[in-house]
Amino acid sequence: MQMRRMTMKDRRWYRHAPQRARTTMERPLRIGIVLHDFALGGTERIAVRLAVAWVEAGARVTIFCGSMNGPLIGLLHHSVEVISAKPAIPRGPGSRRKLGKAAAAFWSRQPVDALFVPGNFHWETVPATAALPAEIRPAIIAQVSASLDKPQRGRLRQWGFGLRMRRLLQGADAIVALFDQARDAADRIAGGRRATTIALPALADDVTSPRPIPSNRTIMAAGRLVPEKGFADLIDAFALLDDHDARLVIVGDGPDRKVLIDRAAARGVSDRLILPGYVADIRPWLDDARLFVLSSHFEGYPAVMVEALAAGRPVIATRCTAAAAPLIEGSGSGAVVPIGDPAAMARAIAAQLKAPDPDPRMLADCVAHHRIGPVAEAYMALFEQASAARKIVI
């Protein structure tokens, strides 16, 4: 079965329709989510945020997880049902296939109308649920959270990735990408026209309006302190700046903390590097920054870029994701630079520090469609469409 793409007309109808008209069912929409655990990851955070929004919109939401470990479970609404596998399924070799089988067995006993599979990491759970008998099998909506085309894979590995994606997602009724380029790549790799674009729900509906850009020289970055985030490149770029009043703040924690401290010392900038560690909310740090830098070597859809723009801060980003250029072009400020090129990054940072400050409200407006409310509604409309289509086919 092929899903047609959700049009803007569909989304406008759904957003403005009366609550009673938002479902073709006599009962609330039943949504299932499969999660390995509640670790501090972008995929898990999105799933938890959407689960809460769907419950608040009147749906019944059940999360089936391998274990209830992880701090993000504390963000769930009390009305979200959480079922853990027994015995628990910790992350490890083959654990996602085990999780998929356990989840499918649960959905067979407690059916849902639609199953949300958040992110590439959870694709391996799809085949088991897709194999359920048609009368109890939910519509399966799989999300693409990470880049599908990665130059670092090489041609052979990319070919193998495409085969694996087609195999794992052949039972999905619809695929959701976070931006149009990823949608087109999903259609090309997975085959057919099953993908649609729904924005990343990176912002709360009541996100704070941006403050004026401060006159300081603070450059900010955020993320886990791991090699793929490119913070070593950022420190090298910072050391190349001919601006001794500038300071660099990298918010986050991880195994590379000492490596980065040593690198800053070797480059002579340790007195101007601030590593505050993990923070629950990066917005206060964004409010105090002049600009934000995304130095990653690869990303899926960088929620932190959306948060930075929503705070009214210009962004310098590497070409770590196809989403970087559209976001920055849409904001009309900032720049995209090559991956692993500290000199190019330094030039872009220096140019932005010297440029007139952009209007923070215009930067925030360009990412307003990432608010959780409209995104949650778009997903619910897709769930109902996919569920209704399955019933027609059956």
pLDDT greater at residue 256 or residue 299: 256
Phi, psi of 175 (to 5 degrees): -120, 135
- CA 36/CA 112 separation, integer angstroms: 18
Nearest to 241 by CA among 357, 347, 356: 347
Q: What is the pLDDT of residues 330-346, one digit of tens each?
A: 888 899 999 999 999 99
pLDDT of residue 241: 97
pLDDT of residue 330: 87
pTM: 0.81
- Could you name the CATH architecture of 8-201+371-393? 3-Layer(aba) Sandwich (3.40)
For strands 114-117 and 30-35, give the pairing.
parallel
Q: Where in the chain is the domain with CATH 3.40.50.2000?
A: 8-201+371-393, 218-368
Alpha carbons within 13 A on the beta-carbon side of 244 = 2
**Letter string b/e over residues 51-64, b meaning 16 or more CB atoms within 10 A of that residue's CB:** bbbbbebebbbbbb
pLDDT of residue 15: 36
pLDDT confidence band for 3 (50 / 70 / 90): very low
pLDDT of residue 394: 52
Q: Order of strands across the sheet with 114-117?
A: 81-84, 60-65, 30-35, 114-117, 139-143, 174-177, 195-197
**pLDDT above 70: percentage of residues in the chain:** 93
Per-residue pLDDT, averaged over 365-389, amounts to: 95
Q: At residue 6, does pLDDT exceed 70?
A: no
Per-residue pLDDT, averaged over 49-76, amounts to: 95
User: Kindly report the CA angle at 30 between 124 and 36, in degrees rounded to 5?
Assistant: 30
Terminal-residue alpha carbon distance, the chain: 11
Phi, psi of 345 (to 5 degrees): -65, -40
* Mean pLDDT across the chain: 90
- CA 388/CA 138 separation, integer angstroms: 10
Q: What is the pLDDT of residues 132-157, one digit of tens each?
A: 999 999 999 999 987 787 767 788 98
Q: What is the pLDDT of residues 162-216, one digit of tens each?
A: 899 999 999 999 999 998 888 999 998 887 778 999 999 999 999 999 999 999 9
pLDDT confidence band for 8 (50 / 70 / 90): very low
pLDDT greater at residue 102 or residue 281: 102
- CA 293/CA 334 separation, integer angstroms: 9
Q: Write down the CATH number for the domain with range 218-368.
A: 3.40.50.2000
